[in-house]
Amino acid sequence: MSSKRGSSPRTAIYPGTFDPITYGHLDIIERAVEIFDRVIVSLGRNPEKNPLFSLDDRLEMIRESVADIKGVEVDTFSGLVVRHAQELGAEALIRGLRAVTDFEYEFQMALVNRRLAPDIITVFLMPNEKYTYLNSTIVREVASLGGDVGRFVPPAVEKRLREIYSGVQTKESNQE
């Protein structure tokens, strides 16, 4: 793919918490690499959130999940994502849209980001329709209740979810 900026690769950032990464996220990543030469999956460090998985665990799961997708890198950031994008020479932020409710929030964020960094565009990508209902919160909830999440997440993620929630399930079962 040729770049509008000459010989430098067209770079996009796909930011998120990815707690955990799902097949919906991977679908967006695969769509993004069709458009950009380089897609950096950037794991946000947000002190306001209390993720299930540690930063290191999420990084490892993302790296395992994208290992076979050419043109994808994994990174972390804190602070403003547009600043992070500028530091990495990215020209775009990738955001996934599943439903109208996603659009309202993402549209507001895109407008704020445009004001903060007019040189960074936001590209909205829709996942395959089979992933439109899927998000990390639902995956965690299904896993916590002992449900099968194998069709929602890569095998390494499924294994880690089982490890975390098997202890919870055992403790709850013993209390009954």
Q: What are the residue numbers of the active site? A: 25, 49, 98, 136
Q: What is the DSSP letter of 127?
A: P
- Cβ-count burial 89-120 (b if 16+ within 10 Å, e if not): ebbbbbbbbbeeebeeebeeebeebeeebeeb
Comparing CA positions, the residue from 55, 73, 66 lying closest to residue 12 is: 73
Question: How far, rounded to the nearest angstrom, does the alpha carbon of residue 47 sit from its chain's CA centroid?
Answer: 17
Q: How many C-beta atoms surround the C-beta of residue 70 within 10 A?
A: 8
Comparing CA positions, the residue from 111, 99, 125 lying closest to residue 14 is: 125
Comparing CA positions, the residue from 152, 156, 149, 103 lying closest to residue 126 is: 103
Q: Which residues pair with 40 in a beta bridge?
A: 13, 73
